[in-house]
Structure 1
Amino acid sequence: MALFLLAFFRRYLLLVLSFLCQVYVLLIRGTPIVVQVMFIYFALPLLANIRIDGLTAAIFTLMINSGAYISEIVRGALQSVPKGLKEAGEAMGLPFYKILRHIIGPVAFRRMIPAMGNQCIISLKDSSLFIVIGVAELTRQGQEIIANNFRSVEIWGAVAVIYLILTGLIALTLKLIEHRMRIV
C-alpha cells in the first residue's frame, strides 16, 4: 500500500512530497543493492545505535529497493492512462477518489502487471546477493553443500533449476493474471 501511496504522491500531490519521493527513487535506483544492504547491515546500526540481524537487513533492503522501482512502475502506469478518462469521470460528477478507484486505477493496474512481474523476478534473483551479509538464502545453502561434498556442477545446477522453477511460477502466475484482466 505504501508503494502505491508513493506513486500517488509523485503523480498527484504536493511538490514537497513529490520532491522527497524523487530523491528516494534517485538514491535507491542510483546505488547497487549490495551497497544498500551493506549500509543497512553495517552502517545503520552505528548511526542509529540499534542491532540489525542479517535476515532483517536483507528483508528491509529488498523492501526499500523494490519500493523505489515499484513506485516508478505505478507512477508510469498512472501517467499512461489517457487524460480523457479522468475528464469523463469529472463530467459524470465523480469525486477524484472514485475516478481514481473505478476508472484510472483498473486501467493503470492492467498496464503495470508485466512490469510488476519483472520486478518480482528481479527481487527474487537479487536475494542471492544477500550472501554478502551471511543470510542463508538459496545461493548460500548451495555454497555450504559444495563445501561439504565438492560437487559444484550438480549443486549449482540444482540451484539454477530451483531459481528457474521459482521465476517460472511467478511468470506463469502473472500470465494468468494478465489473461484474466484483459479487456475483451
Structure 2
Amino acid sequence: MISETANKIFQKAILDYHIFDQIDRPIENPYGENTLEHLLYLKCWIDTAQWHMEDVVRNPDIAPEEGLYWKRRIDQQNQVRTDTVEFIDSYYLNLFKNITPKNDAKVNSESPAWAIDRLSILALKIFHMEQETLRTDISEAHFSKCKEKLDILLEQRKDLSQSIDDLLADIQSGQKYMKVYRQMKMYNDPTMNPVLYGNPKS
C-alpha cells in the first residue's frame, strides 16, 4: 500500500527536519535518487520548510522588508512544491503507461500526486497539532480543543490514505485512468505576468 509507505516517509522527513528546525538546512535525503521514496521525502521536506516560512511571515512584529522577503521565499517554495508534485505524477504516468483502461473507465478529479500532496500536508498538521497537546503551558480548554482536532486529523489521514490506495488500484486494474493537467502557473512566468513583462496600459 503506497499510503503506508508515504506516511512513514513523511513522518521521517518531519522528524528529521525538526532535529535542527532550520529552514535553510540542506536536505539529506536518505533514499535513492531515482526512486519514488526519494520524491516523497523531498516533497514532505519542502512542505515542512514552507510550513515554518508561513509561521515566520505571520509574526506581527516583522519588519515590512523582512515580510516581503519571506513572502517571496514562500512563493518560490510553492513553485518547487508544485514541480515536485508533477515529478511524482510523471512517475505514476510512466508506471501505468502500459495499462489499457477499460471501455467504461473514468478519470479521477484529482491525480495521484495531488492526493499525495494533501497527505503530506496532513502529516504536518498532525505533527504540529500533536505538539500542541504536549505543551505544559496550556489550559485544559486549549488541550481539549487541540486533542479534538488531532483526532479528526488522524481520521482524515486514514480516509485519505484509503482513497489514495483505492485510486492507484483502480488505475492499475483499468477501472480509472490518469489524466494530468500541469499547473501552468502564470504569475511566476516573466512572459505571462503583466507586472513582470510590463503592462502597456500602465
Q: Which has the higher contact order (CA 8 A, sep 6+)?
A: 2
TM-score of the pair, normalised by structure 2: 0.33
TM-score of the pair, normalised by structure 1: 0.36
